[in-house]
Structure 1
Amino acid sequence: MTKADLVEQVADAVGPRVTKKNCGLVVDAFLDAVNDALARGDNIEIRGFGTFKARHRKARVARNPRTGEAVPVPPRVAPVFKPSSHFSSRVDRGSGVFRARGAR
């Protein structure tokens, strides 16, 4: 699913009350808020969905699989998503799309 597909699905879910353009703005604002919070080192917890975190990775030495040469990998901060148990069990059961409370 692309971001455009997500915007279309959200627009379909809320009906004619909100335009597709406004749904796109909401999706963009949500993604920007997640990005900004992770850049600050904050976690984002959405109950029933999951938690976004910024995980600090240590510097390490990796190997080039083709040559066997040691390659230094610098430290970095990686975004991580940990799904909630509710979300994971819905996906595992194949029960369809996650629906937030109050969504139709």
Structure 2
Amino acid sequence: MTKSELILEIASEHPNLMLKYIEEIVSTVFDEIETTLARGDRVELRGFGAFFVKNRKARTGRNPRTGETVTVEEKYVPFFKTGKELRERINQQ
């Protein structure tokens, strides 16, 4: 599901809300998640899961096309861990 599909789904379930307000709410939620992760903090949505950032150390890798050795710099990457309720709901299907 894309962001625009999410907005349309919410709009169809709540016809009393204006589309522009739904777009603003969804964008605000995603922006806050991004901002919090950029600070290095964790975002936990009870029953859904948690977003957090992990540090990947610098390492030596290989270019798969040429086989040449390359240096991969240290970086931070976002991760998502599902919550118990979401895992259980997915596995019931």
Asked if these proteins are the same fold (TM beyond 0.5), I'd say yes
- Structure 1 counterpart of 2:7, which letter? V
Segments of structure 2 that go 5 or more residues without pairing to the other structure are none
Q: Which residue of 1 aligns with 2:55?
A: 56
Q: Secondary structure at the match of 1:77?
A: strand
User: Does 2:30 match 1:17?
Assistant: no
Deviations 1:33-52 (A, max 9, x none): 00000001110011100000
User: Does 2:69 match 1:70?
Assistant: yes
Q: Which residue of 2 aligns with 1:80?
A: 79
**Whole-angstrom CA distance in 2 between matches of 1:77 and 1:2:** 24
Deviations 1:40-66 (A, max 9, x none): 111001110000001111111111122
**Whole-angstrom CA distance in 1 between matches of 2:44 and 2:89:** 18
Give % identity: 40
**TM-score, normalising length: structure 1:** 0.83
The alpha carbon displacement at 1:17 in A equals 2.4
| Alignment root-mean-square deviation, CA | 1.1
Q: Secondary structure at the match of 2:15?
A: helix
Segments of structure 1 that go 5 or more residues without pairing to the other structure are 95-104
- Structure 2 counterpart of 1:34, which letter? I
**TM-score, normalising length: structure 2:** 0.92
The alpha carbon displacement at 1:12 in A equals 1.9
**Whole-angstrom CA distance in 1 between matches of 2:71 and 2:60:** 5
User: Does 2:26 match 1:27?
Assistant: yes
